[in-house]
Amino acid sequence: MHVGFVLNPIAGMGGRVGLKGTDEKVAEARARGAEPRAPDRAERALAELQERLPDMAVSTWGAPMGEREVRAAGYEPTVRGAPEGEETGPADTRAAVDAFVDAGVDLVLFVGGDGTAADIAEAVEGSETPMLGVPAGVKVYSSVFAVSPEDAAQVVRTFERTERREVMDIDEDEYREGEVHPELRAVPLVPVAEELQSSKQLGGGNVEALAAGVADDIRASEKTFVLGPGSTVGAIKEELGFDGSPLGVDVWRDGEVLALDATESEILDALGPAGENVVVVSPIGGQGFVFGRGNPQLSPAVIRRCDLEIVASRSKLDTVGELRVDTDDPDLDAELSGWTKVRIGRVERRMMRIA
């Protein structure tokens, strides 16, 4: 097995600081105190690969686009080149993948988000080289990604055939304004495996009764409620009588909006004492992610201080076999896994398993 490994070092940086993406926003993300997310995700995938495939041949690109993480995992890679400037960009990603394809790698393994996936799909077009993503972006709509870094390593180790899957991307400026218009960018070859996520589906069915029931309970409570993004939770915000951020996280307590489109730090500042906070989220249709896709502001630090309320329409749950979490904290992911109740109506609930 010969893998070409490339890392987008800025992928996902804008998430926890409320930017909903990092395209053209790197400086602002850093000014808000954003920390790189992708290197840690890379290290998790590579550590698992080193344990399972210690003799795997690795081609990579110079730091900060992979070399450092590959060597830290214990591999001695062939470094095919390096980024041209201090700030990396799509041209660097495409150059790396061009070099990998020329070197005859069996697979391009990358760490990034949908924009990175589109760049790599462009570079592998016309070849028979498959690609596989370790998810590190904010949105991650595309179906070329494994569910988690560890799952990506499992796919690399076990896949035997490939199929064509969708790379989707959206305009991040529109996304920040609450508009979501996914665009099909490419259909590259990807390993066939159960550990891959599906494309995100939009829309979730009728949620009027659900929203009314949850809003009534929130009004009757003295707890602090952290209300996640999406149309289902958005209907709850409307029932509460305020214009919430459709793709952001809002904080509510005792009839008052404490934070609108909040960053991770703003959420933490608004929370009440332990046991007095509830995070309300809805899984992504088709994918089933509760945490880890589109809501990185809900960080492990936030989640650990909150009780969890999952809400969804019946039709949305019908599109997913099980729920998923990918919080950047494997221990927390394990704690959240298992059977849980999902509220599907004014009072009705359905048991669902978090994988």
Structure confidence by residue, pLDDT tens digits, 277-319: 999 999 987 789 999 988 999 999 999 999 999 999 888 888 8
How many angstroms separate the CA atoms of 305 and 98, rounded? 45
Kindly state the helix (H) or strand (E) to which residue 124 belongs, with its residue range.
Answer: helix 114-124
Among 26-40, 107-121, 200-214, the range with the most confident prediction by mean pLDDT is: 107-121
Kindly state the helix (H) or strand (E) to which residue 173 belongs, with its residue range.
Answer: helix 172-176
How many angstroms separate the CA atoms of 240 and 174, rounded? 25
How many angstroms separate the CA atoms of 24 and 76, rounded? 33
pLDDT score of 11:
87
Least confident of 15-19, 240-244, 333-337: 15-19
Identify any residues that bridge with 278 across adjacent strands, giving them in sequence order: 225, 307
pLDDT score of 204:
46
pLDDT score of 174:
58
With 60 as the cut, is the pLDDT of residue 21 above it? Answer: no
How many C-beta atoms surround the C-beta of residue 227 within 10 A?
27
The DSSP symbol for 334 reads H
Question: For residues 202 and 124, which has the higher predicted lDDT (pLDDT)?
Answer: 124
How many angstroms separate the CA atoms of 27 and 22, rounded? 9
78-90 burial code (b ≥16 CB/10 A, e <16)? bbbbbbeeeebeb
With 60 as the cut, is the pLDDT of residue 194 above it? Answer: yes
Residue keyed to tokens 């470094």 = 79
CB 307 within 8 A of CB 279: yes
Q: What is the DSSP string of 26-94?
A: HHHHHHTT----HHHHHHHHHHHHHHH-TT-EEEEBSTTSBHHHHHHTT---EE----SSSS--HHHHH
The model's confidence at residue 207, banded by pLDDT at 50, 70 and 90, is confident
With 60 as the cut, is the pLDDT of residue 67 above it? Answer: yes
pLDDT score of 311:
96
Question: For residues 140 and 31, which has the higher predicted lDDT (pLDDT)?
Answer: 140
How many angstroms separate the CA atoms of 142 and 24, rounded? 20
Strands 162-164 and 78-79, by their bridges, are unpaired
Sorted by sequence, the CB contacts under 8 Å of residue 333 that are 6+ apart come out as 148, 325, 326, 327
- For the CA atoms of the chain, what is the radius of gyration? 20
pLDDT average, residue stretch 241-260: 93
pLDDT score of 270:
97
How many angstroms separate the CA atoms of 94 and 73, rounded? 24
Sorted by sequence, the CB contacts under 8 Å of residue 151 that are 6+ apart come out as 195, 196
The pair of three-digit structure tokens given for residue 321, joined into one six-digit string = 């076999």
CB 337 within 8 A of CB 308: no
pLDDT score of 321:
83
Sorted by sequence, the CB contacts under 8 Å of residue 325 that are 6+ apart come out as 289, 290, 291, 292, 332, 333, 336, 337, 354
